[in-house]
Amino acid sequence: MEDLLPAEDFHAVFTLPARIADFACQNKAAVYGLLFKASSQTPLTIAAGQKHLGAKIGMASVLHTWGPALTHHPYVHVIVPGGGLSQDGTRWIGCRPRFFLSVKVLSRLFRRLFLEGLIRLHRTSKLRFFGALAGLTGSGSIAAHPAPLRKTDWVVCAKPPFGGPEAVLACLSRYTRRVAISNQRLVSANAGTVAFRWKDYRIRRGDRLKIMRLRTDEFIRRFLIHVLPSGFHRIRHTGFLANGIRRGRIKKIRHLLNAEPEPGQATGEAASEDPDGRIVCRPGPKCGGAMRIVEAFTRGQTPKSRAPPLGEAA
């Protein structure tokens, strides 16, 4: 909530073609990292141009790798405020109402940046191929493989602005903590077959919901495709929302817009002391109660006040 600004927030989606997705399946860390880099650099570059916005923007990106049937379908969701700081940092430049950047321009630059990055990864021996793609290990072979994709439009969507802060948070919450399939979609499972519900988006009218039955080993294979490499960050922030500068930039933007945080937004000034000297927070916007801080601890530190493990005496 602290990061929300009094500006329209837009939702963009950058999708990899199926031919490139095969590379990502065998080189997850390298290709997913390139997907993040290209999908963030694209709007940053275009927005900075004087023909478009002429501003330094910020964004939050979330990686998804699955389709409704658990197939490999990598794409990145991007939430971006509709505006940015001027090049000298003295003004806030807002975008046009309900329009951020041209989808066609975004698609072409995203395609070029990604393919150039892919060739660099191959030249520096950061890609490994096996199975049906084993022939791509040779020098220069990967440059010809995606050549037809240079002449096609890559799928980039830019959705209208959200209805408000609550809608932004609802969208992010749907994308940040999900796994490839939830328990609610499972219909049945045994040693031989797993059945689950999926939505067929190719159907334009009528009931899209279907039941898919897979051999248990095939279901496990599809699920494990979406396990990310150890330590890989699937949520990233860039531009003025980058982790190292976010707090200072947001404070500056609020000052330029002469805007205070919305009611209910948590801030570092919300804490105070009660008559007994205990640290409490201001009443919550929903329940009206005050949350008492019993202990503060840093990342990786074991809290002293945590509940004992089950089975131990209190």
For each of the chain's 314 residues, which pLDDT tens digit applies? 667 788 888 889 999 988 888 888 899 999 999 999 999 999 999 999 988 889 999 999 999 999 889 999 999 999 999 899 999 989 999 888 888 888 999 999 999 999 999 989 988 888 888 888 877 776 556 666 666 778 778 889 888 777 766 777 777 777 777 788 989 999 999 999 999 999 988 887 878 899 999 999 999 999 999 999 999 999 999 999 998 898 899 989 988 888 665 554 544 444 444 444 444 455 665 666 666 667 777 666 777 665 555 555 44
Same domain, 96 and 193: no
Dist CA 177 CA 234 (whole Å): 10
Tell me, what's the pLDDT at 275?
44
Tell me, what's the pLDDT at 114?
94
Same domain, 109 and 220: no
Tell me, what's the pLDDT at 201?
84
Which residues constitute the domain of residue 200?
181-225
Same domain, 171 and 83: yes
Domains: count for the chain: 2
Chain centre distance of CA 41 = 14
Q: Which of 165, 242, 236, 239 is nearest to 2 (CA)?
A: 165
Dist CA 272 CA 265 (whole Å): 16
Q: Is 67 part of any domain?
A: yes
Same domain, 70 and 122: yes
Q: Do 304 and 295 contact (CB within 8 A), yes or no? A: yes
The two three-digit tokens of residue 150, written as one number: 């240079």
Same domain, 109 and 189: no
Q: Is 52 part of any domain?
A: yes
Tell me, what's the pLDDT at 282?
55
Same domain, 99 and 216: no
Q: Which residues, at least 6 apart from 28, have a Cβ–Cβ distance to it below 8 Å?
A: 228, 229, 232
Same domain, 128 and 80: yes
Tell me, what's the pLDDT at 267?
45
Q: Is 269 part of any domain?
A: no
Straight-line distance from the first to the last Cα atom of the chain, in angstroms, rounded to the nearest whole number: 36
Same domain, 15 and 62: yes
